[in-house]
Amino acid sequence: KAGVTQTPRYLIKTRGQQVTLSCSPISGHRSVSWYQQTPGQGLQFLFEYFSETQRNKGNFPGRFSGRQFSNSRSEMNVSTLELGDSALYLCASSLESGGRNTEAFFGQGTRLTVV
């Protein structure tokens, strides 16, 4: 079974621009979550989608948004980029949103650098 696929792997953007990151979950997984990883803040939850609906949202400004498509693929968008948005963005998929089969399987991440 193919793992979680994130594209692109690396991205350099300028302050004020917007960016869209893509995530393809493991086949059959309907829950997709996004996390931001930085040296200072560690791993922080952004949001979770299940069956095209946002189930949970972390404490990030409205510039961060996401969506999930009917095939469970997900995109994350950050508008009006700031230098502090530079991070590794990780997508994770799991079989269920709740219940016991909720271990998350992570992609390799997208390294976003804002200059």
Partner 1 sequence: AQSVAQPEDQVNVAEGNPLTVKCTYSVSGNPYLFWYVQYPNRGLQFLLKYITGDNLVKGSYGFEAEFNKSQTSFHLKKPSALVSDSALYFCAVRPTAGRRALTFGSGTRLQVQP
At its nearest, how many Å lie between partner 1 and the CB of residue 84? 19
- DSSP letters spanning 30-73: -EEEEEEEETTTEEEEEEEEETTEEEEE-S--TTEEEEE-TTS-
Our CB check for partner 1 shows the closer of 28 and 42 to be 42
| β-pair partners for 78 | 19, 64
Per CB under 8 A, does 43 bind partner 1?
yes
Among 42, 62, 70, 83, binds partner 1 (CB under 8 A): 42
Six-digit token pair at 46? Answer: 């952004």
**Where on the chain is the footprint of partner 1 (CB under 8 A)?**
4, 6, 31, 33, 35, 42-43, 45, 48, 55-56, 58, 90, 92, 97-98, 100, 102-109, 111
